[in-house]
Amino acid sequence: MNAKVIQEFEGEINSIKFFNEKNFATVEWLLGVIEEKFGACYTDRFIANLSVAIEEMEGKYENFSFQEMEYDFLLAIENATKFEDIQFTYRDNDWKLEKINESIKKGAYNVKEIVIKISNNMSEGEEMNITNLLKIAKDVEEWEENGVKISRSYRRLGK
C-alpha cells in the first residue's frame, strides 16, 4: 500500500488557527448560533478556548459525539438570555468546560462588556488602551449600532 496525505486541513476563524476540520466546523457553527442570538460579542480568546475544550473532550471521552455535543451546546445558547448566561455542558456534565463557563459568566469573553468597562473607567492618558481593545472588535461602527458607546478619547484618535 502507498498511502500519503496530500494536504492537511488548516483553517482560521478571526486570528485563531485550526488544524482539525471537524473542530473548525463545530466552532464556526457554534459562533454563528451565538452571533445570531447575541451578535458578534465574543473575543478571539473565547474562540481559542472553546476549540481547545472541544478537542480535549473529543480526546478524553471514549464515545465522544460531535452531534451530541453540538446539541448540548445549542441548548445552552438557546436557554441563555445574554451571552454571560451561557453554561456549556456535555452529557449533563461540565467536565473540561468549567474554566470556559466561569470566564463566560465573568464577562471575560464578551467584547461589548470589555469595551464598556474600559471606556467607562478610562482617563485621558489611557487612549491607547481603548485603541488596542477596539482592534479586537474590528469595526467600531458595528459596535455603536449595537449600543456600545465609544469614548470621546477614542474618537479624537481619528478612528
Q: Do residue 68 and residue 103 come from a single domain?
A: yes
Q: Do residue 52 and residue 121 come from a single domain?
A: no
Within 8 A by CB and 6+ apart from 97, the residues are: 53, 57, 88, 89, 90
Q: Do residue 25 and residue 93 come from a single domain?
A: yes
Domain boundary among 70, 90, 107: 107
Q: Do the domain assignments include residue 137?
A: yes
> CB–CB of 131/159 below 8 Å?
yes
Q: Could you list the residue range(s) of the whole structural domain that residue 53 is in?
A: 11-107
Cell triple for 112 = 461589548
Q: How much is the pTM? A: 0.73
Tell me the pLDDT tens digit for each residue of 5-25. Answer: 667 889 999 989 999 999 999
What does the alpha-carbon distance between residue 154 and residue 118 come to, in Å, rounded to a whole number? Answer: 11
* Structural domains of the chain, count: 2
Cell triple for 81 = 438570555
Q: Predicted confidence band at 139 (pLDDT cuts at 50, 70, 90)?
A: very low
The secondary structure of the chain in percent helix, strand, coil, rounded to multiples of 5, reads 60, 5, 35
